[in-house]
Amino acid sequence: MTLILNRSDIRGLLEHATAEVEAAVEQAHRDLSRGRVSLPAPPALDLPGSDGTFLPMAAVSAPAGLASVKLLADLPANRERGLPVQRSTVLVLSARTGEAEAVLDGALITRFRTAAATAVATRLLAGQDAQVLGLVGTGPLALAHARALSTVREWKSVAVWGRTPANGAALVDRISAELGLHAELLPGPREVTEAADVLCTLTPSREPVIKGAWLRPGTHVNAVGAPPRPGHREIDTEGIVRSRLIVDSFATARSKSGEVLIPLAEGALTEADFDRELGDVLEGLVPARTADDEITLFDSVGVGLQDLAVARLLIDLATESGTGTRTDLAA
């Protein structure tokens, strides 16, 4: 039987499972470092006659006993239609029998696993005395990050900026009310960058919103928001060159991350500058922060293995609670 979970089902299962999601994502990256999973870089399937693209983000995990693919649709024209620019669905198969175990809406899976990966990276890479969290971008991903990162450090304050002031004010109110943290809306990305000990960029920007000259020594940056396209980035070349880079997957970053591909094409970066993976840091194969004044940057492109890890968790939670719909696709 195949489990079907819609967005409401997934919200109910994950809204109180922040720690479990983080643990699942961390273990997935450890398994990647140990060679226990297969994680190819996703091909870009461009839609002829448009700027739309589809990415099949696949992974196979021996420990999880699953193979999965999330088909991500990145359709900029949806913005004019009043629809989400990105939509996705996750198909999960048994790695042993090939049976379709689950079909899952991808929106919240993506949001939760992305924030969880940032939390893992921040715990490893941020300075121990980090007190100010900066959020550039005020969409749903920003709130998810505030929630996930609230378990990583004792934040003194949260600095926020977004292009729409009303959204920024609403985010500040929610962070204050839900997390009990002092949050403040600042006038621009520079002010947030200069205030933050840990900076999360969470915008769908095609052009840099953060300049390297703004980064203070010792800052940790999570570059999260740019779509997985070689020409899109949130951090300029100077910011990348000034930072010690950690990626979620070298193969995916080398294929999809404008954050590293644009400086690489400019000759400002080499592949050796971004071949350090998060899983290798977790496994102690690569050092994390090497100096108090070092600027560290986690380039979070997002990988199908993270989706698989959360899918495994969801299948287990849904089975325990009787959540979702079950059907025989072969009937």
Query: What is the total count of domains within the chain?
Result: 2
Q: How many residues does the chain have?
A: 331
Are 144 and 184 contained in the same domain? yes
Are 211 and 309 contained in the same domain? no
Containing domain of residue 316, as a range?
Answer: 2-109+305-327
Give the pTM. 0.95
Are 46 and 124 contained in the same domain? no
Helix then strand then coil, % of the chain, to nearest 5: 40, 25, 40
pLDDT digit string, tens, across residues 144-157: 999 999 999 999 99
Are 19 and 62 contained in the same domain? yes
Are 158 and 290 contained in the same domain? yes
Are 50 and 70 contained in the same domain? yes
DSSP codes of every residue in 271-331: GGGG--BHHHHHTTSS-S--STT--EEEE----HHHHHHHHHHHHHHHHHHT-SEEE-TT-
Residue 331 confidence (pLDDT): 85
Are 142 and 279 contained in the same domain? yes
pLDDT digit string, tens, across residues 114-134: 999 999 999 999 999 999 999
Question: Does the pLDDT at position 330 exceed 90?
Answer: no
Binning pLDDT at 50, 70 and 90, where does residue 277 land? very high
Q: What average pLDDT does range 244-248 have in this prediction?
A: 98
Are 21 and 141 contained in the same domain? no
Q: Are 248 and 301 in contact (CB under 8 A)?
A: yes
Are 21 and 84 contained in the same domain? yes
Q: Are 58 and 41 in contact (CB under 8 A)?
A: no
Are 182 and 92 contained in the same domain? no
pLDDT digit string, tens, across residues 10-46: 999 999 999 999 999 999 999 999 999 999 999 999 9
Residue 227 confidence (pLDDT): 86
Are 42 and 128 contained in the same domain? no
Domain CATH number, residue 254: 3.40.50.720
Domain CATH number, residue 84: 3.30.1780.10
Are 89 and 143 contained in the same domain? no
Radius of gyration of the chain (CA): 19
Distance CA 189, CA 175 (A): 18
